[in-house]
Structures are given as C-alpha cells and as structure tokens.
Chain A
Amino acid sequence: MTTLVDRPGTGRPGAGSAAPRLTAEQAGHLRHIDNLSRLPRGDWRHMAGPLPMQEDFNAYRYQLGYMSLALALAHYHRLPAAPVVFHDTLDRLIQRMLEPDVWTYWRDTSTQGGFGPIDLPQLPSRTDPVAVDNIMYSAYLQMMTLLFTMLFDDRRYEQPDSLTFAFRPILFGRDRRDSFAYDQRTLNERIYWNMVRNGYLGVACEPFCVFQICNQIPILGFRLHDHLYGGQTAEEVMEGYRRAWSQFGDGVGPDGHFAKFVVQRNDLLPTDLLIDQGSAWTDAWLGMLLNMWRPELVRDTYRDKLENWIDPTPEGTIAVRNLALPPGAEGLAEPGLHSEFGWVAGWASEMGDRATLEGLFRHADTVMNPQWDKGGLYYPRHDATYDTAGRFASMTPTVSNAMLPYARLNVEDGLRTLFQRPWTDRDRQRPALTGRDDDVDVLRAVYDDEKDHLALSVAPRHGLTTVAATLTISRVAPRPWTLLVDGEPVARSEDAATDAGRGIGVRRTPDTLTVSLPLEGVRDVDVQWRR
C-alpha cells in the first residue's frame, strides 16, 4: 500500500535549482492562507466551524498553528528563495493568534469541572492564556513566533511585550480588564517551567488532561529556541518526556496505536488515567509530529496501522474511517469533525507516501467541491459526514485551511528535517526574491550554490490572465550577473540600460535588481552570476 517517494526538497536554500514549480493547487493553498491572514479583525470567514466556544479541533488556534507550519514547510522546502511570499503572511497569522476571539475561551475552559464521562475538580477561572496549562494554545504561539525568527531573522517578537493578551470587555467586568505581556523568550520560559513542574509528561491542554499531540509542539519550540539562543532544552525535555511516559507504555497503547492522553490524578481521581484506545486522529496527528524525534516508532506505526484508518473507494480514491466527535458533541455535529481526513493526509505527507496522498487528494478534488476565491484554493465546509451519494464528504475548516495545504506543500520527512536543521544566517543570506506584486504567484524560487544561479518562476494568480509584475531580487552584489527571462538573456550587471526590450524593465541598486515584466502565464526569471 505504502510507496515512499523521493524527497523533493532538502531544506537547504542553496541546493537544487531543478526544483519543480509549485502546482496550481499548491500555489492556491498559499494564496488562500494569505487571503485569510488579511481579513480584518473579527472576520473569521472560511474559518468558523460548527461548534462554538473554540473547544474542538477547528478552533482558530489549531487552524492558525497548522497554517503557519504549512507556510514554514513550504518556505523551507519548496520556495526557499522567496521570503516575500511568507514573511508578512506568517506575521499576520501571529497577530491573528493574539486576537481575543482566539484565546478568551480559556476563561471558561480553565475552570474544568469534568470532561466527557470523567468527573474533574472545578477550578478558579484564569484569563492569562499561557500562564498555566493550555498548551493547546501557548505552544502554537510559541512555535509560530520562533519559526518566524528562524526563517526571517526578524527579531520583532523578541521585543518586550510583543506578545500581549489584552482583555477589555465592554459590557461586563470592568474590574476584570487586564493585560498579560510576554515576548517569545518569556513565553518559551513559561512553557518550559510548566513542563518541568509536571515532570516532563507534558503540559495539560484543559486542566488535568495531558495530550501527547499538543506536547510535540513545544518540543519543536524548544528546539528552535535552543537553535536561536543556545541551550539544550529540547534534549532535556525529550529525555524527560520519554522517562515520564515510560510508566504509560511509552505513549503506545496495548493495541499498538498511539495513546491519546493522561488524565492526571486529582481530588476526584485517585490515580492517573491513561486514555489509550487507538484512533485515526491520534495516530495520524501524533505520527505527523512525533516523526520529528521518534522516526523509527512513527514509521513502524504507520506501516502497521495506517490501513486501519483509510478507506479506499471503488472509484480509486481514498477516504478515512474511524470518525469521531468530542464527548458531549453528539447531536451538535457529525463524525468527521475531528478532521481525521486532514491529519491522515498530513501524516502521509511526512511519511512520503505518495500513493495514499494522491488517493486522498483525488477524493478531496472529486467529492469535496474545491473552490477558488481571489486566487486561493479551499474546500467549502461540509458538516455532514457523507454526501447524498453516501460518499465520505466531511470537510472542516481545519482540513480545508490548514491540513490539506500542509499535506500538499510538505515533503517526505519535511517537519523532521526542519526540526533537525533549522536555518542559519548562511541560509538566509543568499540571493532571494524580496518584493513582488500581490497578484503574482511565485511557483519556483531556488538559489543553487554550486551553479551560482537563482531560478524563479512566476505567474498571474489563479483567475487572472494578465498582470504587470514587478519583482525585487536582493543580495545580487558583488559578482557580475546575467538576467534571463524565459531562458533568454535580457540584461547584464554591467549594462546601464533600463529597457531590456519586450516590455521588460530592469532597475539596479548596488544590492538589488528590480525586474518589471508583463505576465500572461508562467514565466521563468533567472539570474546567473558569472565568476
């Protein structure tokens, strides 16, 4: 069933100028994420799910977190020489993450009082969403800001109070107005100490409930923090995590599937309770993330267990099964709400299983009604599990906005490679595309160290036939260069002319090259440096 594929990317901006162009769908996913990032505050178009109160896996925090990871993976592996495609979008997603709509659920969720069939103590309400527990929010914000710093060497989230949660209700609680100020380092520190005080088992999502899945994200955060600022926190936490979970079957249930979570003992529960029955969403979501640092376990589980969760159809597509709902959501939503389809796609992408991935995408594109809006590709929300023809058709915002983009843009071991080898100054200081018009899609952006060659491909965004494009390429000095458009030389560094003919304009500064040209389809723009 599983066919492992070659690695399309290496994670090194300087390698492989023969990189393939993005497909229309891949570019469409990036455009859709960018479109969502630009919506005004409070506008959650395409992102609202069927359940209220940000309690399920379609909560904005998960969408924003996995959109951000999809961007990071696409930049790292697919378009390493195009920071312009990602920088502002990721920054806007971080700003969206700070909107009260995303995190004020914590005032209620922090009070606990019971989860599904489990009685749990009632706790006082907390407003600060990152101080204690709530790793299902805090770690995603931690990871997003550290990815931003690692990818762009942009230090804005190091600044004091750059991550501030401002709580200012208008019609109630005037005495409860409050503000909680952090930056990416104090946030990281807070999460670290929460991890320590819980014996490295992990930090709880909702109180008392420590999920394996959400505790992989801070491990990625610690890894990035160590990389940026020094230290061995990730190593310490990974060792402590394995030790802590050794009393819970190393995080694997007796049936060989990944365990979900531990309900920690408390005043109403005399002993820890391990929730370890296998499920599609846990295996796939955790497998996708855990591949960062336990790849042998993940590949074994994938090989042995994936077929429990996928459902090949007579039409040659692949759907998913073992669909679940959060306890208590029966009657409010239908199975599929857990976004199993998206997690399985994400896991298959990380494993490089092209056959499964293609089957899933074929299913999505056949059954799930793909739509284009302002150049962005999305799949409209479909709350019913099956369509009228009886085909699996559930589509959640998390799957549409985050996980199908993630799966289409990832490469084999893509997250694992990013985890192991974050970018350094050397990776970020190569020639790169740093300016483009909003209506232009970038389909290829790779600088080849050996050939001293920058390869770009650009096109009007989906839905437009013609645009006038202006591209800014930075870090072109000090070597002489030749600019090629569609393979034809059109300008050289030593020429003074600004009109390169055929409607192509060229402007130079000591370190930048700005190219303007008409686009009526895909065009290749290359810079070849001469030695």
Chain B
Amino acid sequence: MPALVPRYRLLDHHGRAVTQDDFAGSYQLVFFGFTHCRMVCPRELAKLDDVLEALGPLAERVQPLYISVDPERDTPEVMRAFLERHHPRFLGLTGTTQDAEAAREAFHVFARRGVDPEDPEGYAVPHTTLTYLLDANGDYLTHFADVLDAERITARLRELLQ
C-alpha cells in the first residue's frame, strides 16, 4: 500500500461537493493553507502562480487546488473572494471540520491551531508547506518542498507533464 493515498470529499469555493475524482484527466497541484495566513501561504501561492505562468500551455493540464486547514473561517465564500482576488488560477476547497481533517490525514498534512495575537480572531494555523502533485487518476505522484524555488518546480513539472 502506498504511503500516501490522497482522498478527499470537500466543497469547492462555488459550494459544489467535490472529490479527487472530479478532476480526473487533470493533474492536481494541491497546497494546504488558510486565507488568514500572513506569511507562508502568500509566499507559496505566489510561487505557484509563477510556476503556472512559466508552464505556459502545459498549465492547462493542471488543476491548482488550495485546501483550507481552517474550515471554520474559510467558508466557500471567503475562499472564493480571497482566491479570485489574489490567486485566480486556484480553486479553493473547504468543508466541515471532519472532512477537512480527513483530507489533511490523507495527505499527512500537519496543521494545529495556535494563539496568534496579531490575528484579528487571535489564532493562526501553522501547517505543512508541501505542494502535492496528483496524476490524472488522482493518485499521488510527487511533492515539492518549500525549499524548492519556482524555477526548479517548473522544470520538474515540465518533465512530469510532458
């Protein structure tokens, strides 16, 4: 059995129920985070925007997904507003606390709510910063650590997508 079986059942930022199977035929580029994140998510999402831009037409084969680790605050509406404004290539996914936790478990994602005095609601959710790539069947293909820059991720994606 593979070490990572990326299964999820969530709502997209239009409020539609989705699973990994709904994107069959596309490679899924998955990043976990939360819209109140001030440092990691803006940096990593911007990097992935650059990657997708650099891929050119190949990017059409990729469905970028941003899965919330803070479903209490990240409703579909909140995610849609955030992504359409800042990262329009991405589709946001969120859900119930249980469904979001199940998705995190499936991807082995770390996320723990902790106190953050600088946050308006007083908390943040530090989380794993890996970017996952699922193949056209929705199976885990590889992942990219945040130490990799956009150029290296782009080069690796080109190899995998072509």
Q: Contact residues of A with B, CB < 8 Å?
A: 186, 189-190, 192-194, 196-200, 232, 235-236, 239
Q: How does the 8 Å CB contact mask read for B1-37 relative to A, with 1 for contact and 0 for none?
A: 0011000000000000000000000000000000000
Min C-beta distance of B101 to chain A, whole Å = 12
The reply to whether A196 and B110 contact each other, CB–CB distance below 8 Å, is yes
From A186, A194, A232, A236, name the one whose CB has the most chain B CB atoms within 10 angstroms.
A236
The reply to whether A236 and B108 contact each other, CB–CB distance below 8 Å, is no
- The docked-state distance in angstroms from the alpha carbon of A232 to that of B145 is 9
In the complex, which residues of chain B have a beta carbon less than 8 angstroms from the beta carbon of A197?
Answer: 105, 108-110, 128
Give the 8 A-B CB pairs with smallest separation, nearest first.
Answer: A199-B110, A197-B108, A236-B145, A193-B108, A189-B3, A196-B108, A193-B3, A197-B110
A to B CB contacts below 8 Å, 13 in the list? A186-B3, A193-B4, A193-B108, A194-B108, A196-B108, A197-B105, A198-B110, A199-B112, A199-B126, A199-B128, A232-B145, A232-B148, A236-B145
Q: Contact residues of B with A, CB < 8 Å?
A: 3-4, 105, 108-110, 112, 126, 128, 130, 145, 147-148
- The docked-state distance in angstroms from the alpha carbon of A196 to that of B145 is 11
Closest to A233 in B: B145
From B110, B126, B148, name the one whose CB has the most chain A CB atoms within 10 angstroms.
B110
In the complex, which residues of chain A have a beta carbon less than 8 angstroms from the beta carbon of B108?
Answer: 193-194, 196-197
Min C-beta distance of A137 to chain B, whole Å = 18
Min C-beta distance of A240 to chain B, whole Å = 8
The reply to whether B126 and A190 contact each other, CB–CB distance below 8 Å, is no
Closest to A264 in B: B112
In the complex, which residues of chain B have a beta carbon less than 8 angstroms from the beta carbon of A189?
Answer: 3
Min C-beta distance of A246 to chain B, whole Å = 11
In the complex, which residues of chain B have a beta carbon less than 8 angstroms from the beta carbon of A196?
Answer: 108-110, 128, 130
In the complex, which residues of chain B have a beta carbon less than 8 angstroms from the beta carbon of A239?
Answer: 147
- The docked-state distance in angstroms from the alpha carbon of A200 to that of B109 is 11
Known: A194-B108, A196-B130, A199-B126. 16 other contacts (CB 8 A): A189-B3, A190-B3, A192-B3, A193-B3, A193-B4, A193-B108, A196-B109, A196-B110, A196-B128, A197-B105, A197-B110, A198-B110, A199-B112, A200-B110, A232-B147, A232-B148
- The docked-state distance in angstroms from the alpha carbon of A236 to that of B109 is 15
- The docked-state distance in angstroms from the alpha carbon of A232 to that of B142 is 13
Which residue of B4, B105, B110, B147 is within 8 Å of A235 (Cβ)?
B147
The reply to whether A236 and B147 contact each other, CB–CB distance below 8 Å, is yes
In the complex, which residues of chain A have a beta carbon less than 8 angstroms from the beta carbon of B128?
Answer: 196-197, 199
In the complex, which residues of chain A have a beta carbon less than 8 angstroms from the beta carbon of B145?
Answer: 232, 236
Min C-beta distance of A143 to chain B, whole Å = 19
In the complex, which residues of chain B have a beta carbon less than 8 angstroms from the beta carbon of A235?
Answer: 147
In the complex, which residues of chain A have a beta carbon less than 8 angstroms from the beta carbon of B148?
Answer: 232
Min C-beta distance of A208 to chain B, whole Å = 13
In the complex, which residues of chain B have a beta carbon less than 8 angstroms from the beta carbon of A199?
Answer: 110, 112, 126, 128
In the complex, which residues of chain B have a beta carbon less than 8 angstroms from the beta carbon of A190?
Answer: 3
- The docked-state distance in angstroms from the alpha carbon of A232 to that of B156 is 14
In the complex, which residues of chain A have a beta carbon less than 8 angstroms from the beta carbon of B105?
Answer: 197
Closest to A239 in B: B147
Min C-beta distance of B29 to chain A, whole Å = 17
In the complex, which residues of chain A have a beta carbon less than 8 angstroms from the beta carbon of B3?
Answer: 186, 189-190, 192-193
- The docked-state distance in angstroms from the alpha carbon of A198 to that of B110 is 6
Closest to A235 in B: B147
In the complex, which residues of chain B have a beta carbon less than 8 angstroms from the beta carbon of A192?
Answer: 3
